[in-house]
Amino acid sequence: MATNENLPPNVIKQLAKELKNLDDSPPEGIKVVVNDDDFSTIYADIDGPAGTPYENGVFRMKLLLSHDFPHLPPKGYFLTKIFHPNIATNGEICVNTLKKDWNPSLGLRHVLLVVRCLLIEPFPESALNEQAGKMLLENYEEYARHARLYTGIHAKPKPKFKTGAISESTTALNVDQTNTSVLNSEVKNAAPGAAMPFQPPLGQSAATVRVNSLEQAATATTDTLVNGSTAATVVPAAPIPQKKETGAARVQADKKKIDARKKSLKRL
Closest CA to 29 of 141, 135, 149, 118: 118
Beta bridge partners of 75: 64
Q: Is 117 designated active site? A: no
**Helical ranges in the chain per DSSP H:** 9-24, 108-120, 130-138, 140-154, 168-189, 206-227, 243-267
Helices (H) and strands (E) in the chain, counts: 7, 4
DSSP letter at 122 equals -
| Angle (deg, nearest 10), helices 130-138 and 140-154 | 130
Query: CB under 8 Å to 23, separation ≥6 — which residues?
Result: 32, 34
Distance of alpha carbon 33 from alpha carbon 41, whole angstroms? 10
User: What are the beta bridge partners of residue 76?
Assistant: 63
Q: Is 37 helix (H, G, I), strand (E, B) or coil?
A: coil
Q: Which of 94, 111, 115, 135 is catalytic?
A: 94
- CB-based contact 57:46 (threshold 8 Å): no
**How far is Cα 87 from Cα 146, in angstroms, rounded to an integer?**
14
Catalytic machinery residues: 94
